[in-house]
Amino acid sequence: MTLRRPWAHRIAVGTVSAAALVALAVPAEAATPATATSTSTSTAAAEDVDYGTWQQDCQAVMNQALPYLKQRIAGTKPGEKQAIVFDIDNTTLETDFGFSYPQPANRPVLEVAKYAQEHGVSLFFVTARPGIIASVTDYNLKHVGYQVSGLYVRNFLDLFKNVAEYKTAQRVAIENKGYTIIANVGNSATDLSGGHAEKTYKLPDYDGQLS
């Protein structure tokens, strides 16, 4: 794994991506999602981490997750409502590779998600994305094939909280709705710390370079 760009570049790209997403939120709030057009504002992020390597690394993790999930789902207890919690950026969507809207699904993760949703598991998405882009995010996830049982974005007060604490609190809220979280999938340590999931699956973030 060779990372060809320095930190400063990554931070700049992240800022562009976040700003572009917020900009996209405005027309999507005003119009139906079907009118959204594909835009490409930056492809620089893809230069940081080789796309093929990233996909291979994600596939390797999902190759661990799928056999477990098949077994766990087959053993669903009577009355048990199973759920999987997913991070969004660089987990369920290809956020940092050839930025566009709608963002493509991260294929290895989508394949596992599809198996789960086709077998009665509810999918919940917990993201540090701000609430202003909730509708474009919801549309994006559904557009690429995810069945969204719940999408948790950060509201104004949540923006001041530690990300790991915020994400853990959302998993507690999901459990309080009666779900058993059989797996939590994310690419940052802050997606997965704090418990409230039977298993965690960590996708690569390359030392924090992928959000």
| Footprint of Mg ion (CB under 5 A) | 87, 89-90, 187
Question: What is the enclosing helix (H) or strand (E) of 47?
Answer: none
Residue 90 Cβ, how far from Mg ion at the closest point, in Å? Answer: 5
Give yes or no for a cis peptide into 27 (omega within 30° of 0): no
Nearer to Mg ion, 89 or 158 (CB): 89
Nearer to Mg ion, 72 or 167 (CB): 167
Paired tokens of 83: 């759920």
Nearer to Mg ion, 72 or 184 (CB): 184
Paired tokens of 94: 């290809």
Helices 107-118 and 51-74 pack at an angle, to 10 degrees, of 20
Nearer to Mg ion, 82 or 187 (CB): 187
Distance CA 22, CA 133 (A): 6
Distance CA 46, CA 177 (A): 39
Residue 80 Cβ, how far from Mg ion at the closest point, in Å? Answer: 28
Distance CA 178, CA 170 (A): 13
Residue 34 Cβ, how far from Mg ion at the closest point, in Å? Answer: 27
Residue 202 Cβ, how far from Mg ion at the closest point, in Å? Answer: 11
Residue nearest to Mg ion (CB): 89
